[in-house]
A and B are shown apart, each in its own frame.
Chain A
Amino acid sequence: MNRLEQLTASLREHDQRGVAPYLTAGDDGLENTLAELHALERGGAACVELGIPFSDPIADGPALQAAADRALKAGTTLNSVLQMIKDYRAAGGQLPIALMSYANLLVRNKLGETAMEIADAGANALIVPDIPIEEGAALEQACAAAQLCPIFFAAPTSPQSRVVEAGQRSRGFLYVVGRVGVTGGSTSFDEETQSFLKQTRELSQAPIAVGFGIATAEHVRAATQSADLAIVGTALVRHLHEVGQAGGNRAQAAQQFVEDLVTGLK
């Protein structure tokens, strides 16, 4: 079991929940991202989802598209992100890291070799929003050889049979899209959403992480009624960008943001 599997297994075992913040790697430069990873750890994050910027992120809303554009403008590449992760681990960073990347960046060179490099750098999982279970075999093979967790998705539109299969084939956690739409909208944790999450928890063999639209401690509280992990992406990315623009300290803001979010854990 790698870091991420240990984390989620332990959360399940002790009936605990966690917050998983999302960062776009290289937004405002990778030095900032490195400092923010350490800050998130200090702030009480359970693990982190780290997005590799891509020119055409079809599952992301305007805020994360803009973050990816900024990161690309700053010269961020898959390789430079992997170097940054090495630096984080070398400095004692302990957070499990789930790398989020669109398929093209991973297949640009051989997927198997790329997965190996990602694991060597110290990341623990691969989240690929445009690889559904139909296309997942190569991802699973590459991840198995590199001891990375392949992570698949369940959405409110997924038939139950797909949720079951995605849960079986995911390691670490199953990524549950809390609502229909791209990243960055708001999710209302109404009865329908809660019953979808509850059902998904029952259907999925893997622990579940819910994302899309979680912005506050209140949302974290609602999401973790059923989910093992609450992923907070757009709200954090937007906040850090605003802080950076205003000349503030992004890392400090990241820590405070997570400290607030974890108060929502039961």
Chain B
Amino acid sequence: MAKGIPSVKVCGLTRVEDALHAVEHGADAIGVVTVEASPRCATPELARSIFESAPDHVWKVLVTTDSDPQRVAQAASQCGATAVQLCGNHSASGWSDFALPLLRRLPVSEEAQAVIKEWQPMVLAFVLDSAHTAGGSGVTVDFNLAAKLAQQVPCLLAGGLDEGNVAAAIDAVHPLGVDASSRLEATPRQKDQARVHQFIHNAKQQMSKATTAQAITSVGPYFGEFGGCFAPETLMASLLELEQAWRSAMADPGFRNELDGYLKNYAGRSTPLTFAQRLSEEIGVEVWLKREDLLHTGAHKLNNALGQALLAKRMGKKRILAETGAGQHGVATATVCALLGLECVIYMGAVDAARQRPNLQRMELLGARVEVVEHGQRTLKDAINEAMRAWVADPDAHYLLGSALGPHPFPALVAGFQQVIGEEAREQFEQQAGGVPDTVVACVGGGSNAIGMFRGFVDSNGVDLVGVEAGGTGVKSGEHAARFQGGIPGVLHGCFTWLLQDEDGQIRHTHSVSAGLDYAAVGPEHAQLEALQRARYVDATDDQALDAFQRLARLEGILPALESSHAVGWVIANREDLQGQRVLVNLSGRGDKDMETVMGILSGDQA
């Protein structure tokens, strides 16, 4: 049986060979018209032989103007149709119990709302068509109005589509499917097979592009099968409130202006794009660095912290809770709380508190209370556990989650506040280097800097998106945080995503030299990008990151954070494969915080 809603329908068929050809090239619905006034009218016998020629998974749609449900049911059953498309101007009475799925012609005009109101409860989808004809006219519709209707109800787009205009039409209207008929004919009642083939190809390509773009800029709760909202009931009211506030803020130009003002005049956006000349020369790869390390507080984290803190203020919250791994998010949160006069409590694992001591001190200087977490492996995961528990006990506070993970709406919300990185970088690259980079690289812990960067390039299919996870002492050693290499999908901290877990489902110990990548789960939008094969996820080891840390210092005068060093380290390690390419790396943070760790390791004392 055909399932879902047809995505490419070829209609007005009058020859079995045309039907076979369309199906062979991927049409998932075929239509036969039984309206006598139509130039493409087919007899019941012809309809039957056409439908019989097509395999089970193809929708066989009988197109009629008949207003009598019994008569139509009989005709459909006689010719073996699996769905009926109604094009007459009759009322909906008598159609509510119709046995087959119904498609209903929807005129793209002011009459549309009346038709929707009457028919919506009983139809599978509407077929958007020109206002004044019964279909097959070759007249295109008003795309603006059609787009609005397609947002309101499930729609296929028809009306004058052919291989030349179908991509633009899909782009403008975003229908669930497309339907073409008269414009694909070579002569009356005979399809031009080459054009049919091209139409199906172009339609499918554009539909899948639209789906990809939609899937990755999703506002959640799901990114494909990943994400969701796996949170204790006590938090659900707060999460729902947050989602609503976020949506309303996003629709409010005043909020956006306020945030942009802080990003520019307080945080220092835009951050520069730097050509790494000496590194490029040394490795034979043209490397460009997006300098989030130059943002106030020294990392991209401030983009999200500012956005969420303003949102919290808008919601009337007085107290902020947050977790931190490397301490960069903790510092950013403590900073915005000082700026906006909010109370601030930061949860930090004891291991991280020791290896990122300067950041702990900064948070305290900024007026935050730092709770050092002594449970579990005492790193980021445990800090999130404790922050979530604190939020369960204190739902009036705002939990300012620092990465693109956790329960809905956090993954989409955080990515939304970070996508400024990718938008800026794209524009700067175009201006300074021309065009788009061949490869875009970012390190992935939870994945907020990477998703912010990727969102700027995801719709350019030629750009290779590479997320670099922490390879630790090597994926084979088991001492790492490379979720896509060693993980299995599951639920942690509120979302369904790739996780490092043992065979019983217990979360596994992770290791990385960098606290910010030392985490067992990856953000769900990355999981979906990987599933769509739109981005690939690789790893860099502790040693590769340390090498990159030192090289960037010596060659460019930049001390990168150990997290960001993983992205640079992967580029250096894979320079043979990247020869001659233009590679954009997100330098997500600065490395001052890592001095103790790095010096300790370099002097042979494993910190």
Contacts and interface: CB of A to CB of B under 8 A. Distances in A.
| A, B from the same assembly | yes
B477 interface: no
A78 B395 CA distance: 32
A252 B385 CA distance: 34
Interface stretch (B74-82, B195-203, B504-512): B504-512
Contacts of A58: 232, 385, 388-389, 392, 493
Q: Which one of B231, B238, B503 has the highest number of Cβ atoms from chain A below 10 Å of its Cβ?
A: B231
Interface string A28-67: 0000000000000000000000000011111111100100
Interface in A56-94: 56-62, 65, 72, 77-79
A183 to B, nearest CB: 10
A129 B236 contact: no
Most buried by A among B234, B496, B507: B234
- Chain A CB within 10 Å — which of B238, B388, B394, B506 has the most? B506
B506 to A, nearest CB: 4
A108 B490 contact: yes
Contacts of B388: 58
A104 interface: yes
Contacts of A54: 505-506
B236 A158 contact: yes
B395 A157 contact: yes
A102 B201 CA distance: 45
Interface residues of A, number: 42
Residue with the greatest number of chain A CB neighbours at <10 A, chosen from B221, B491, B505: B505
Contacts of A182: 389, 392-393
B389 A152 contact: no
Given A55-B507, A58-B232, A78-B504, A104 B393 contact: no
Contacts of B300: none
B501 A108 contact: yes
Contacts of B486: none
B491 A103 contact: yes
B1 interface: no
A102 B504 CA distance: 12
Interface centre among A78, A129, A130, A159 (most CB of B within 10 A): A130
Contact of B232 (A62, A79, A129, A162): A129
A104 B499 contact: yes
Contact of B229 (A79, A105, A134, A157): A134
A158 B490 contact: no
B110 interface: no
B232 A132 contact: yes
A145 interface: no
B505 A78 contact: yes
Interface in B237-258: 237-238
B45 interface: no
B375 interface: yes
Nearest to B499: A104
A104 B505 contact: yes
A244 interface: no
Interface hub of B229, B381, B491, B503 (most chain A Cβ within 10 A): B491
Interface in A147-162: 152-159, 162
A240 B12 CA distance: 77
Interface in A179-229: 180-182, 185
Given A107-B490, A153-B233, A56 B504 contact: no
A97 interface: no
Given A103-B491, A131-B230, A181 B381 contact: no
Contacts of A180: 234, 392-395
A158 B499 CA distance: 30
B453 interface: no
A177 interface: yes
A15 interface: no
Contact of A130 (B230, B381, B389, B394): B230
Interface residues of B, number: 36
B234 A155 contact: yes
B504 A77 contact: yes
Given A55-B507, A58-B385, A103-B230, A157 B237 contact: yes
A166 B233 CA distance: 10
A58 B496 CA distance: 15
B233 A155 contact: yes
A135 interface: yes
Given A55-B506, A104-B491, A157-B238, A152 B233 contact: yes
A135 B504 contact: no
Contacts of B456: none
Q: Which residue, of B381, B393, B488, B493, has the highest number of chain A Cβ atoms within 10 A? A: B393
Contacts of B376: 55-56
Contacts of A72: 506
B494 A108 contact: no
A152 B499 CA distance: 25
Nearest to B392: A182
Given A78-B504, A157-B395, A180-B392, A65 B375 contact: yes
Contacts of B393: 180-182, 185
A107 B491 contact: yes
B160 to A, nearest CB: 41
B389 A104 contact: no
Interface string B507-543: 1000000000000000000000000000000000000
B505 to A, nearest CB: 4
A184 to B, nearest CB: 10
30 contacts: A55-B506, A58-B388, A58-B389, A59-B234, A65-B375, A77-B504, A78-B505, A104-B490, A104-B492, A107-B491, A107-B496, A108-B488, A108-B501, A108-B505, A130-B231, A132-B232, A132-B236, A134-B228, A135-B229, A152-B233, A154-B233, A155-B232, A155-B234, A157-B235, A158-B236, A162-B237, A180-B392, A180-B394, A181-B393, A182-B389
Given A56-B493, A180-B395, 11 more contacts: A55-B507, A56-B385, A58-B385, A104-B501, A105-B506, A107-B496, A108-B501, A132-B233, A155-B236, A177-B234, A180-B394
Interface of A: 54-62, 65, 72, 77-79, 102-108, 129-132, 134-135, 152-159, 162, 166, 177, 180-182, 185
The 9 closest A-B pairs by CB, nearest first: A108-B505, A153-B233, A181-B393, A103-B491, A105-B505, A155-B234, A157-B237, A55-B506, A130-B230
Interface of B: 221, 228-238, 375-376, 381, 385, 388-389, 392-395, 488, 490-494, 496, 499, 501, 503-507
